[in-house]
A = this chain, B = another copy of it.
């Protein structure tokens, strides 16, 4: 499939590389490709500068948010949750219409320090905000409950014996996303229901952050034991 990954951080890089390795035609979307490629400072999580990463993944094109989304069948929102609506607006509603929009971001607010707060909560979610802002997109919330390396290589944790959640209004879109998740190696895919159930999947983040602190690693995932 033609897949646009919006976001050039470590999550976007990890997802884009994994999708390309599966044989998909992947393009990374960013605000200004020239600025992104000229960046020499390390990433926010201490990763290599984007250009260094990209030199090792030359098959992945880099384009504006709009160009990337426009040429894709599936769009992955791998931007920071706080900037997702702005990035998707730059991508353009016309370029998202009818597309599967895989939302893996979390609406974390770091303005008051660490650990960050989650906003919205309870009566809304980032997944719903995106679906409301782009009603013609087929939003599926998933993968936001684990770190990027586990998203694309679930077998690396407990042999893959853990769970991933799906929320979305469009059954066909959830089917397409389930296929991608299975290609990554996910075996226990739990369909929570419509996009409002993203409230649940997003609200696990505060626990995820404390478990990360307790274990000293983000390389874990939640399993629904039953």
Contacts of A30 in B (CB 8 A): none
A209 within 8 A of partner (CB): yes
Q: Is the CB of B225 within 8 A of A162?
A: yes
A208 CB to nearest chain B CB (Å): 8
Given A121-B121, A121-B122, answer yes or no on A211-B190 (Cβ-Cβ < 8 Å): yes
Q: Is the CB of B221 within 8 A of A210?
A: no
Given A117-B123, A118-B122, answer yes or no on A224-B200 (Cβ-Cβ < 8 Å): no
Stretch at the interface among A14-22, A55-63, A67-75, A191-199: A191-199
Which one of A112, A214, A217 has the greatest number of beta carbons of chain B within 10 Å? A214
Contacts of A190 in B (CB 8 A): 211, 214-215
Contact with B along A123-164 (1 / 0, CB 8 A): 100000000000000000000000000000000011001100
A175 within 8 A of partner (CB): no
Closest 8 CB pairs of A and B: A200-B207, A200-B210, A220-B226, A162-B225, A158-B225, A223-B223, A117-B122, A200-B206
List residues of chain A with CB under 8 Å of any chain B CB: 112, 117-119, 121-123, 157-158, 161-162, 165, 190-193, 197, 199-201, 203-211, 213-215, 217, 219-226
